[in-house]
Amino acid sequence: MTTASAAAVVVLAAGEGTRMRSATPKVLHTMGGRSLLGHALAAATDLEPERVCVVVRHDRDRVAAHARELLPSVLVADQDEIPGTGRAVRCALAVLDGAADADAARQGRTPSGEGGLEGPVVVMAGDVPLLDGGTLRELLEAHVADRNAVTVLTTRVDDPTGYGRIVRDGSGQVARIVEHKDADPAELEIDEINSSIYVFDAAVLRAGLARLGRHNAQGEVYLTDVIAIARSEGEAVRALQIDDPIVVAGVNDRAQLAELRAALNRRILTDWMIEGVTVVDPATTWVDVDVELERDVTLLPGTQLHGRTTVAAGATIGPDTTLVDVVVEAGATVTRSHATSSRIGPGAVVGPFSYLRPGTDLGPDGKIGAYVETKNARIGEHAKVPHLSYVGDAVVGEHSNVGAGTIFANYDGVTKSSSVVGDHVRIGSNNVLVAPVTLGDGAYTGAGSVIRRDVPPGALGVSQSPQRNVDGWVFRRRPGTSAAEAAAAALGVTPPDPAETTAGQAEQTPGDRPADGTTEGH
Q: Which residues are catalytic?
A: 387
Which residue type is seen at 460? L
**Concatenated DSSP letters for 62-84?**
HHHHHHHHH-TT-EEEE--SS-S
Q: Phi and psi dihedrals of 151, rounded to 5? A: -130, 130
Among 262, 145, 247, which residue's Cα sits nearest to residue 196?
Answer: 247
Distance CA 19, CA 197 (A): 22
Report strand pairing: 444-445 vs 426-427: parallel
Q: How far apart are the first and last CA of the chain?
A: 81
CA 65 to chain centre: 19
Which residues fall within 8 angstroms of residue 331, CB to CB, at 6 or more apart? 312, 313, 314, 315, 346, 347
Task: Determine the Cα–Cα distance for residues 90 and 79; give it in Å rounded to an integer.
Answer: 9
- Residue 90: strand, helix, or coil: helix
The CA R_g of the chain, rounded to the nearest whole Å, is: 35
For residue 372, give every residue at least 6 positions away whose Cβ sits within 8 Å of its Cβ, in sequence order, or none: 354, 355, 385, 386, 387, 388, 389, 390, 391
For residue 352, the 8-state DSSP code is S
By CB atoms closer than 10 A (0-12, 13-18, 19+), residue 480 is middle
3-state SS, one letter per residue, for 331-393 = CCEECCCEEECCEECCCCEECCCCEECCCCEECCCCEEEEEEEEEEEEECCCCEEEEEEEEEE
Half-sphere exposure of 2 (CA within 13 A, CB side): 15
Peptide bond into 352 cis (omega under 30): yes
φ/ψ (deg, to 5) at 498:
-55, -35
H helical segments located in 212-293: 225-232, 254-274
Cβ burial of 164 (10 Å; 0-12, 13-18, 19+) is buried
* CA atoms of 407 and 435, how far apart (whole Å): 10
Do you know the residue count of the chain?
A: 522
Alpha helical stretches, state H, 71-171 = 85-106, 133-145
